[in-house]
């Protein structure tokens, strides 16, 4: 059978609910859910139900009657887990009115790091009462692995948001206040006093107002088919300004129309081992033939998938390795050719750079040729000197003023650095002019 099969047995005042849940790779599935009247025959009926399933659950959770178990919520300064385990027996003596020789306790703790405190949920019962109840099941070959009251079993699910859970039954009404993964407070009252229940609910919220804060209770849930009065839900909602909602079931079971929500919640929760009221049995659950066959088929499928994956990934890898080896051989043979190609490529780069330099460089002859075309015909040069960026010339001219205008209009002249015009001798003036030419990076 599956190692994730859970059976939950929940005792109410007049009925007993049982549910089988299988946890498989496809998710949680409900195998059986049934409600029995709470009488002496209920143990035999549950034993028949267990045998009809033809497999023993790996986990059997018993939620005993609420009148057999008492709960306390205690707050202490921060302690190490080992110190809490040693302290728990002394605290049970202080807060549980049961004889130590006939007392069984369970507990869970959560550390509040911000407040440096530890909140202790203490559950206690008479050992004789619990063993008598469990003995009736074991006599009919129904194993019991855990015994935890319902309000403590659903802490992992309801303990996130501040929640008031009201469990109504024919003889009792249980008030449970949850928040931050804790059962903050709980109280059991007679069902025939609805006004007293409402008053106790208000007092419970007021008692924990420091923890609840200004927002107060975040939601009010109720489970149970019995209502203490006709307007009980309306009065309860008006007391907290919230609508009373039915107990929510786990998300994987929402397809069911009428589930036993509280039993499903208890069966779905993962509880700490210390909360258990009985010792861990450590029993081994035999696997059914169907489970063995299923596991064998799964193993065969896994082997086939691994082999197929190895073939799909190994064959291309081997082929890539062979191709890489061939490429390496070709590269070694073509190394001289590649070196020659690299040299040719470098030479082409140098030639291209040389062409760029030649195109951007202006020779002295080009400058002088441009100067001769620029000057007027009645101008004669006696000396011309050019270096990159500077042009200097001397000579004689009939129209020296026109020369500066022509030079400034020339595209390759940046500025006239020096201009000396001498006295007129005959028809000509002596001239000495220095100009700054444009750099090679500027376009003319």
User: For each of the chain's 444 residues, which pLDDT tens digit applies?
Assistant: 445 788 899 998 889 999 888 877 677 788 888 889 988 889 999 888 888 766 678 888 999 998 888 888 888 887 776 777 778 877 778 888 888 888 888 888 888 766 788 888 888 999 899 999 999 998 988 888 889 999 888 888 888 888 999 998 888 899 999 888 888 888 888 888 889 999 999 998 888 888 887 778 888 998 887 888 888 888 888 888 889 888 877 777 766 656 688 888 888 888 888 888 888 766 766 566 666 788 888 888 888 888 888 777 777 777 888 888 888 888 888 888 888 988 888 898 888 888 777 666 666 777 777 778 888 888 888 888 888 778 888 888 888 888 888 888 777 788 888 888 888 888 888 888 888 887 654 444
Domain ends where: 286, 305, 322? 286
- Residue 53 and residue 327: Cα distance in Å, rounded? 66
Residues 326-365 as b or e (16 or more Cβ within 10 Å = b): eeeeeeeeeeeeeeeeeeeeeeeeeeeeeeeeeeeebeee
> Do 127 and 274 reside in the same domain of the chain?
yes
Q: What is the pTM of this model?
A: 0.62
320 lies in a domain? no
> Do 238 and 379 reside in the same domain of the chain?
no
> Do 264 and 380 reside in the same domain of the chain?
no
Residues 6+ apart with CB under 8 A from 341: none
224 lies in a domain? yes
- The three-state secondary structure class of 140 is coil
343 lies in a domain? no
> Do 142 and 246 reside in the same domain of the chain?
yes
Domain ends where: 257, 286, 315? 286
**CA-CA distances (angstroms) from residue 206 to 161, 176, 191, 200, 210?**
17, 14, 22, 10, 8
> In terms of residue numbers, what domain contains 387?
364-437
* Two tokens, residue 117: 């405190």
- Please report how many Cα atoms fall inside a 13 Å half-sphere around the Cα of residue 436, on the Cβ side: 6
Looking at the structure of the chain, the number of domains it has is: 2
Q: What is the CATH number of the domain that holds 409?
A: 3.30.1360
For 309, list phi and psi in degrees, rounded to 5: -65, -40
328 lies in a domain? no
Domain ends where: 235, 252, 286? 286
Report the Cα–Cα distance between both ends of the chain, in Å, rounded. 94
70 near 96, Cβ under 8 Å? yes
Question: Going by DSSP bridges, is the β-strand pair 59-63/146-147 parallel, antiparallel, or unpaired?
Answer: parallel
Q: Which residue is listed with tokens 């023993």? A: 56
> Do 263 and 374 reside in the same domain of the chain?
no
396 lies in a domain? yes
């Amino acid at each position: 059978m599956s190692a994730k099969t859970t059976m939950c047995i929940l005792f109410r005042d007049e009925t007993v609910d049982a549910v089988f849940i299988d946890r498989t790779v496809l998710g949680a599935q409900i195998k059986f859910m049934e409600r029995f009247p709470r009488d002496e025959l209920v143990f035999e009926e549950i034993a028949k139900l267990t045998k009809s399933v033809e497999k023993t659950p790996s986990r059997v959770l018993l939620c005993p009657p609420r009148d057999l178990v008492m709960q306390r919520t205690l707050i202490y300064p921060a302690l190490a887990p080992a110190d809490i385990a040693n302290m728990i027996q002394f605290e049970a003596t202080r807060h549980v009115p049961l004889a130590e020789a006939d007392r069984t306790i369970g507990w869970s703790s959560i550390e509040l790091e911000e407040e440096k405190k530890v909140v202790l949920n203490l559950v206690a019962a008479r050992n004789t009462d619990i063993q008598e109840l469990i003995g009736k099941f074991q006599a009919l070959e129904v194993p019991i692995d855990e015994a935890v009251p319902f309000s403590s079993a659903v802490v992992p699910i309801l303990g996130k948001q501040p929640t008031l859970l009201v469990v109504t039954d024919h003889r009792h009404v249980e008030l449970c206040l949850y928040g931050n993964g804790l059962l903050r407070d709980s109280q059991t009252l007679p069902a025939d006093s609805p006004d007293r229940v409402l008053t106790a609910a208000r007092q419970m919220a007021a008692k924990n107002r420091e923890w609840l804060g200004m927002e107060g209770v975040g939601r009010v849930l109720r489970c149970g088919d019995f209502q203490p009065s006709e307007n009980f839900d309306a009065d309860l909602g008006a007391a907290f300004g919230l609508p009373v909602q039915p107990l929510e079931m786990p998300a994987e079971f929402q397809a069911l129309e009428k589930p036993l929500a509280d039993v499903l919640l208890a069966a779905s929760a993962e509880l700490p081992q210390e909360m258990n009221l009985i010792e861990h049995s450590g029993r081994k659950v035999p696997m059914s033939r169907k489970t063995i066959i299923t596991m064998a088929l799964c193993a065969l499928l896994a082997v086939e998938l691994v082999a197929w994956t190895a073939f799909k990934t190994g064959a291309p890898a081997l082929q890539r390795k062979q191709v890489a080896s061939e490429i390496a051989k070709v590269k070694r043979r073509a190394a001289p050719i590649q070196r020659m190609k690299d040299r040719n490529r470098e030479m082409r780069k140098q030639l291209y750079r040389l062409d760029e330099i030649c195109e951007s460089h202006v020779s002295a002859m080009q400058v002088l040729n441009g100067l001769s075309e620029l000057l007027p015909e009645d101008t004669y040069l006696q000396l011309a000197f050019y270096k990159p960026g500077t042009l200097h010339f001397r000579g004689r001219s009939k129209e020296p003023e026109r020369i500066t205008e022509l030079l400034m209009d020339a595209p390759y002249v940046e500025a006239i650095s020096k201009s000396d015009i001498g006295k007129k001798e005959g028809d000509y003036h002596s001239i000495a002019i220095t100009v700054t030419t444009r750099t090679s990076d500027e376009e003319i």
